[in-house]
Structure 1
Amino acid sequence: MTMTTDQEPGEAAGAVSASDTPVAADAERRLHPMSWLFVLLASLKQFILPLLALLVFGQGDRNALWPLIGVGVLALVSVWQYFTYRYGVADDALVVRQGLLERSLRVIPFARIHNVALQQSMLHRIFGVAEVRLESAGGQKPEAEMRVLKLEDALALEALVRQRGAAAVEAAPATSDAALLELPTGEVLRLGLVSNRGLVLLGAAFAAVSQVDRRVIPNLFERWGETLFGWAGERQFAATEYVLAAITFVVLVVLLLRLLSMALALLQYHGFRLTEHGRRLTVERGLLGRWRTSVSRRRIQAWTLREGLLHRLLGRRSLEIDTAVSEQGGQQRTLREVAPIATPDTCAGLVDHLLPKARWDRLEWHPLPAASWWRLWLPTLPWVAIGTAVLTWRFGAWGLLLLAWLPWAAFKARQRALRAGWSLGPELVAVREGWLDRHWRFAEIDKLQATQLVQSPVDRRCGTATVWLDTAGAGAMSPPLRIRFLPLAQARELHEALTRELARRPLRW
């Protein structure tokens, strides 16, 4: 028997009435009667295509039916889980019992639950059920994963976590859900337009096909090239016409990828709604399948405000957060996008509302030293040199054309250096970087885990240093929170000031 009984301070949350929480404190509940089907489908997800291929193309070979024995075993295990899984509430904890021969009892204090995620696929919505995951800070897997509950029971459990999580501290007054942001269809289409989801999906499809036959992709491009150039040769294209045909082809591919990105954005973000209940944020989104997750505001560790070139053309930005819940297997398990796309004023309003003491609009920005542009340009040199050497060896003098990239890289580095800056306020530390693709990265000082003063060999030569600021829950794609290329004396002064401030303040999760 295993038991989890760790305690930590609770969090303020909105109170709910007893009618909102049908999960009684002295009752144990089962999963939905059809939960075995969803557990079975989840187990078969990676085997279903090979099984179908064996059944369809097995050509009457009885050996192709042997994998069905494994399917039967998985079905029995799924039914077994339904009959042996119970959950209920005891005091201020969720109690999960499972197993018959090997029993396990898991007690999860509500104060430990940092994130509640509800997911619904099309099949979930047909049966009126949802999959529930309860996450804690830094866990490599969910504290509890329930496949599946009735939708009303899932929502009641979410409300119960919100209510009981406030038991360790004074509860916030009861409030109704307040909508902070809703994305109409037009905004969702803009999100697809500025994103690269179509390119990512296409790359994943090519990778999957390559696993089956590595010659499929080269053969596909070879046949396409033969068809295209054969058609152009029949019409006796000149060099200029070949160039125009190539440009037209590239534009067509880009447009198709953008249309695919817009379709994917509709599937993922249709009906996006950000709401606030007390001190807890909830996001719900999705067209065919619905995804709902919530997190306490006090669990937010850092913020990222992004603005790409297309964002600026459309007058939009995006706002993301890092929370004290890790990711597993590269998959997002917690709320990350507060505003997938919104106007700059809307993003600034969200920051001011959620961080009222930070005074985001009053930050005093300090630019980096103007001479630091060459430090941003320096990493380009070895890559251009290697690329030029390879292309020259393969194509002769034409490979030297790659050297034309260096002036452009120098110009881009100058623009990045002019825009880069940092700010330190009473409650907030922030950095900004980028030129064509810009971002602002900031965190409350109370949420910093540690500070580090780093000098590379180039820094020691130039008398500069970088101050690194660590926070919990940073994603793999999140930009670093760092202040680069500071004069050594200034970097030491900043590092010592932040270190003293961290020692004076308690760490807030």
Structure 2
Amino acid sequence: MNCGIISPGWRGKLIRMTSWRRQHYAAIFISFLNNIKELLLTMLIVFVFGQSSQVGGAMFYTFFYGSILLFSLGSGVIKWLTFQYRLEADELKIKQGFLFKKNRFIRKERIQSIDVNAKMLQRMFRLVELRIETAGGGGEPEFRIVALKQEEAALIKKELLSKDRVPDKGQVTESVSQDDSMTAAYPDEVQKSAHERKFRWELSNRRLVIAALTSSGVGLAVTFAAAATSQLQQLIPEAVYEEIIGWLQHSSFVYIGIVVAFVLFISWVMALINTMLKYGQFTIVKNGDEIHLSRGILEKRQLTLSQKRITAVRIVQNLLRQPFGYVSVYVESACGGRKEEDLSTILIPLCKRGEITELLGEIVPEYAVKRQYAPLPSKSIRKYMIKLIVPAVVSATVIAYFLPYGSWALILPVLAASYGYWQYRDAGIGHTEGILLLKYRTLSRCEVVVPRKRIQAMQSSQTFLQRINDLHTIHVSVMTSIAGKTFTLKHIDRMQQEQQFHWYSYEEKRKE
């Protein structure tokens, strides 16, 4: 059954979606750059080892790199020519491949989410990337169009997410304005009138700055800065490098501290800029069962989630935000999430802790519950403290023995014991009539809200050391992607373990 869907063409022509279509020709350029990026390491290895071994000459490098460029360009052209798609009433059809042909059919009812991105390359051509996640699709999208006109992406998304099937006869006509390009790409929630919107929330500029200033991404930035610093020897003259190393070796503890502080400051600035670019213009629009999320300054991203597919809510508060009462809210959903967000989807980048219940009541009312936790038993304290104290004592001993000023490391066991006690104080467990509540701390404090009907499995384990004090570890699994996600709370007592299993048991549910 074909559905005649018509959208405005690039120059005012009508494009029928019943015919097989190719991506925008910019897909050739995008594929070319992606191929170069994948082969970049090989090109660098050949260049470095070729220089050191004196193998080949100008002709060799010209031929080698020229062949890579031609191969990458030819591959992009072939992919563009052989990749075709067609939108029908109840499914999206794809055929691709040059030597090995592949035909795929994505049914509308299997689609979990549709993600629309506009990276820098796409924005140069006023295009977007369409990513479709399906049930059981795993961590990567099952279908992706990397170069699509904005109005066409909006039309495909609207058609695939529509609940009603199109009649066999007749045509459906859509008119999408091109005046506001990003409105077409980030689509329905912007085009609907205000009275049709049930809820809208935006991250203010002030809170965006606070989110950037208190971001936990400094660790990644420090790693990047350290990796860049390790390559300085290749970029500066050897005499200058040896002079810097000699200065550091003869410098006092204060000078070395200044250098470390400078690296941390640069890393913090990098994390600040990254957070502002990532979460700038963050908007939530709730329309019925659908939650529309849009964000990004350089890379625009728009995602539509179904409220019914959300399986858990996580409330995360890192060390920098805790004194000010700010938190971030993530959701776990059946369609998975982004790798940089631990396969979750960020719902609220930053809000006050006291605002959580009200915001969840507007967006996901099922999770807007009063969160009360029972503390862990006092015999759990030493479990949390000892697991941190032992490695801290070993590390402090080694550092104090081998390094100058190493005696400062003797404070590590004290810090480890304090942090272990902090983890114990922050841990807790509880439940309401139909919601399980977990609270724990690794580096950040995390609260997990899981409806009983969303729990895939609840398990309990006990190590040899836990048996001595009759303590247990509880594991709660929910569906997020093909792998799922498990939340763990350690060192609860037997009574708490039995209470949670009784609450979750089939017999208890049948009584209700």
TM-score when scaled to structure 1? 0.79
Quote the residue 1:91 is aligned against.
89
The answer (yes or no) to whether the contact 1:192–1:258 under 8 Å persists in 2 is: no
Quote the residue 2:265 is aligned against.
255
3-state SS in 2 of match to 1:352:
helix
Q: Distance in 2 between matches of 1:227 and 1:401?
A: 22
Shift of 1:296: 1.4
Quote the residue 1:125 is aligned against.
123
- The alignment status of 1:267 with 2:277, answered yes or no, reads yes
3-state SS in 1 of match to 2:211:
helix
Quote the residue 2:383 is aligned against.
375
Q: 1:75-474 counterparts in 2 under 5 A?
A: 75-99=73-97, 101-140=99-138, 141-164=140-163, 176=196, 180-204=200-224, 206-207=226-227, 223-227=243-247, 242=252, 245-326=255-336, 330=339, 336-361=345-370, 363-391=371-399, 393-394=401-402, 402-434=409-441, 437-473=444-480
3-state SS in 2 of match to 1:378:
helix
Read off the aligned partner of 1:347 and give its amino acid letter: I
Q: Distance in 2 between matches of 1:139 and 1:155?
A: 22
Quote the residue 1:42 is aligned against.
34
Distance 1:244 1:84, change over 3 A: closer
- The alignment status of 1:61 with 2:58, answered yes or no, reads yes
Read off the aligned partner of 1:387 and give its amino acid letter: S
Shift of 1:85: 2.1
Shift of 1:395: 5.2
The answer (yes or no) to whether the contact 1:138–1:326 under 8 Å persists in 2 is: no
3-state SS in 2 of match to 1:116:
strand
The answer (yes or no) to whether the contact 2:87–2:156 under 8 Å persists in 1 is: no
Q: Distance in 2 between matches of 1:182 and 1:379?
A: 42
Q: Distance in 2 between matches of 1:296 and 1:91?
A: 21
The answer (yes or no) to whether the contact 1:327–1:475 under 8 Å persists in 2 is: no
The answer (yes or no) to whether the contact 1:272–1:283 under 8 Å persists in 2 is: yes
The answer (yes or no) to whether the contact 2:389–2:417 under 8 Å persists in 1 is: no
TM-score when scaled to structure 2? 0.78
3-state SS in 1 of match to 2:38:
coil
Shift of 1:462: 1.0
Out of 333-342 and 461-470, give the one that drifted further: 333-342
How large is the Cα RMSD of the aligned pairs?
4.1
Out of 49-58 and 277-286, give the one that drifted further: 49-58
The answer (yes or no) to whether the contact 1:453–1:495 under 8 Å persists in 2 is: no
Distance 1:226 1:382, change over 3 A: same
The answer (yes or no) to whether the contact 2:222–2:264 under 8 Å persists in 1 is: no
The answer (yes or no) to whether the contact 1:30–1:86 under 8 Å persists in 2 is: yes
Shift of 1:406: 3.2
| Overall identity of the aligned pairs, in % | 20
Shift of 1:125: 0.9
Read off the aligned partner of 1:33 and give its amino acid letter: Y
Q: Distance in 1 between matches of 2:293 and 2:22?
A: 27
The answer (yes or no) to whether the contact 1:467–1:491 under 8 Å persists in 2 is: yes
Quote the residue 2:184 is aligned against.
none
Q: Distance in 1 between matches of 2:403 and 2:343?
A: 49
The answer (yes or no) to whether the contact 1:138–1:473 under 8 Å persists in 2 is: no
Distance 1:402 1:136, change over 3 A: same
3-state SS in 2 of match to 1:288:
coil
3-state SS in 1 of match to 2:505:
helix
Q: Distance in 1 between matches of 2:299 and 2:207?
A: 19
Q: Which has the higher contact order (CA 8 A, sep 6+)?
A: 1
Q: Distance in 1 between matches of 2:337 and 2:286?
A: 23
The answer (yes or no) to whether the contact 1:110–1:165 under 8 Å persists in 2 is: no
The answer (yes or no) to whether the contact 2:477–2:484 under 8 Å persists in 1 is: no
Q: Distance in 2 between matches of 1:432 and 1:332?
A: 19
The answer (yes or no) to whether the contact 2:396–2:413 under 8 Å persists in 1 is: no
1:435-470 CA distance string (max 9 Å, x none): 984221221111111011211112211122222111
